Structure 1
Amino acid sequence: MSNTEVAPDEVACGAEPLATVSTEVLHPRDVPLGGPRAIRVRRTLPQRDRSMVGAWCFADHYGPHDVTGGSGMDVPPHPHTGLQTVSWLFAGEIEHRDSGGVHAMVRPGELNLMTAGSGICHSEVSTPSTTTLHGAQLWVALPDADRDTPRDFAHYVPPARTLGAATVRVFLGELAGDRSPVATFTRLLGAQIDLPANGTVTLDVDPSFEHGVLLDQGDLRAGGDDLGIGDLWYQSPGCDRVELTNRGDTPARALLLGGPPFEEQLVMWWNFVGRSHDEIEAFRAQWQDQDERFGEVTGYPGTRLPAPSLPNGRLRPRRNPTQRGAP
């Protein structure tokens, strides 16, 4: 859940004149992923009080899970609309199949970016050789002008760069002079940051971006806030740096996410990103009716995932505090 303070701490930073920048710490909730033997994940986005960081609209962090007993990841074919999925592993291996005809492996330190556009379905299964499963699953909302783009898939292995005490891998966007070649539909930042014991780093960032730091491991302080595993530290636009300190005697690792505030209102339900209740209802009906919008996954040894029932009330658009006109 969100920071319970009514008025979160503010810091002044950035180029002259100094801007007032707010920060907060978002804490994850524990949810199951998959079927009866589901693994547990820590879900930090979306939350009631903050749905997004830039166009990043969903963040799950999981592991490390010992899956030698066969309790790994097995997510049957399921649909998506209006988003891109970012799969990022720290340990293990996941087999990806989608209705665009892609069959790929997700491995540690390698970006797999799937574009749903107007509709796609895919499955995710940890491989038999995986003993430990540990990673993050992230979604990026597509702007209205591009949300009906065709299905697509990109793979990229970012190089490890040294920045002061830190090791940085930029898988989306640009940081510290390193730019990912992977195209996105809004300006984004996605990077893995590793810090040794007692290490610190100051990252120069775009002051027009919101930023989030998702802690994977270690005793990390972002700005002036201490983070727990799975916590997401948020910093509003107006600051040209992110300061990270590893306060522990073991290495720390985090994901740095960023982007300009996403000004469009979204309706998010299950695996769909849309703009209205009626649109989401139509997506659900099409999935249940096996409409060609989503296509089919070949090679998955099982049935596809049925959609849950819609809630009794109408789904309402979500608005972030940083969006213009937000209450």
Structure 2
Amino acid sequence: MSNLDEHPTEGVCGGEGAEGPVVERLEAREVVLGRTTKVRRLLPNKNRRMVGAWCFVDHYGPDDLTARVDSYDVPGERGMLVPPHPHTSLQTVSWLFEGEIEHRDSAGSHAMVRPGELNIMTAGNGIAHSEVSLPDGPPMLHGAQLWVALPDSQRTTVTPHFNAYADLPTLDLDGAHGTVMIGTVAGITSPAPAYTPLVGADIQLDAARPDDSGRTDAGRSTTDPGRVVTIPLTPAFEYAVLVVAGSLTTGDLTAGFGEMLYLGAGREAIDLTGDARFLLLGGEPFEEQLVMWWNFIGRSHEEIVAARNDWMASIDAHGTDRFPAVPGYDGDALPAPPLPATRLKPRPRSR
């Protein structure tokens, strides 16, 4: 997915360890994506710019595509419409709760992104891709697009490629169930590749369940969200949770739909209360300093300038060695916005 801000925020992230256990609410800002989709951007956030190697999180929907056909500047378009755009030194992680998206990329991959199926695109030194809702696709669209920063040892040497996983391991805890997208939760490990210690899971907190007598825990009703659920964590990881349905509480803070709670590091477990579906994101604090601008990740101002120049040259030439054309996409690629007039400025990992 592309960062389509007309004036992308420049910054240097990483390079600092995480704090110990904390609980902080991170509020999203609304961004228009492509020509027909609005998203809630959680990372980078003004207060927290990374969680482990997770450096970018967009949450979108649920959108009724049939009700929004004429709600933008392109009447008749529906759902996601993101033309070919570039990425460097990262992985894109696509996860849907509802709907369907067609993915095409310059490595020759063509796939349909569907709920519960993990799609990971590894950019290496350069890749381009498009994301489109097809006219005959499902009427609802709800999902998340995330980026993972690649470490310096892999970011320019790994061959650009795409992986899809339709059969991921399931998680069954006391009071919660879900899917492990990447990494390990409670001893359950995903087959998806990760280049730094990382974890991502889609978890649903269960409502209180009735016992054999028909009574629920502590006499609560089956819809009472008061049940406490313990999620095991890795102390060396920092974590955050993104609520995609309902609400959850930990400590004194409650996060509702579209909000993220940053949990810090140093925990063996976290107690959550609520009736919610959420993404659990975590990983070892990313120690390398990186520069993010638009759809590029690098290590210096000069790298970002070179990536932008190479992308614009690719548009003019209809594909280059670094950024080949996206096979099968009928339309123009997305031009890069102008670079800022000054050098990209360092900004800390947290505010």
Please classify the TM superposition score into its range, dividing by the shorter chain length: 0.7 to 0.9
> Equivalent of 1:47, from 36, 45, 56?
45
Q: Please report how far the alpha carbon of residue 235 of structure 1 lies from its aligned counterpart in structure 2 after TM superposition.
A: 1.4
Describe the SS at the equivalent of 1:317. Answer: coil
Please point out which of 83, 86, 90 is paired with 1:79.
86
CA distance in 2, matches of 1:165, 1:130: 31
- Structure 1 position 20, deviation (Å): 5.2
- Structure 1 distance, partners of 2:348, 2:113, is 32
Alpha carbons of 1:319 and 1:144: their partners in 2 closer, same or farther (altered >3 Å)? farther
CA distance in 1, matches of 2:228, 2:162: 35
Distance 1:303 1:222 in 2: 46
**In structure 2, what is the Cα distance between the partners aligned to 1:311 and 1:191?**
36
TM-score, scaled relative to structure 2: 0.82
> Is residue 147 of structure 2 the alignment partner of residue 103 of structure 1?
no
Structure 2 SS opposite 1:57: strand
Residues 26 and 47 in structure 2, CA contact (< 8 A), matched pair in contact too: no
* Contact 1:276–1:317 (8 Å) recurs in 2: no
Distance 2:341 2:271 in 1: 44
Question: CA 1:20 to 1:112, structure 2 compared with 1: closer, same or farther past 3 Å?
Answer: closer
Write the distance in 2 (CA, Å) between the matches of 1:20 and 1:42. Answer: 27
**Where in structure 2 are the equivalents of 1:198-209 lying within 5 Å?**
198=225, 199-209=227-237
| Alignment partners' CA distance in 2, 1:244 and 1:254 | 11
* SS, match of residue 144 in structure 1: coil
Do structure 1's residue 140 and structure 2's residue 148 form an aligned pair?
yes
How many residues are matched?
A: 298
Runs of 4+ in structure 1 deviating by more than 4 angstroms, as ranges, are none
What is the deviation of 1:161?
A: 2.9
> 2-side partners of 1:320 and 1:308: how far apart?
24
* 1:295 correspondence with 2:324: yes
TM-score (norm 1): 0.88
Q: Which one is further off, 293-302 or 113-122?
A: 293-302
Query: What SS does the corresponding residue of 2:256 show, helix, strand or coil?
Result: coil
Q: 1:222 to 1:113 in 2, by over 3 A?
A: farther
Identical aligned residues as a percent: 55
Q: Which runs of 5+ in 2 are unaligned?
A: 1-18, 70-76, 208-224, 315-319
Structure 1: how far apart are the matches of 2:250 and 2:144? 19
2:254 paired residue number:
226
State the partner residue of 2:65.
67
Backbone CA RMSD of aligned residues: 1.5
Measure the CA separation in 2 of the matches of 1:99 and 1:208.
Answer: 36
What is residue 270 of structure 1 aligned with on the other side?
294
Distance across 1 between alignment mates of 2:117 and 2:321:
30
Contact 2:169-2:189 within 8 A present in 1 as well: no
How far off its partner does 1:237 sit? 1.4
Q: Which has the higher contact order (CA 8 A, sep 6+)?
A: 2
What is the deviation of 1:243?
A: 1.9
Over alpha carbons, which structure has the higher Rg?
2
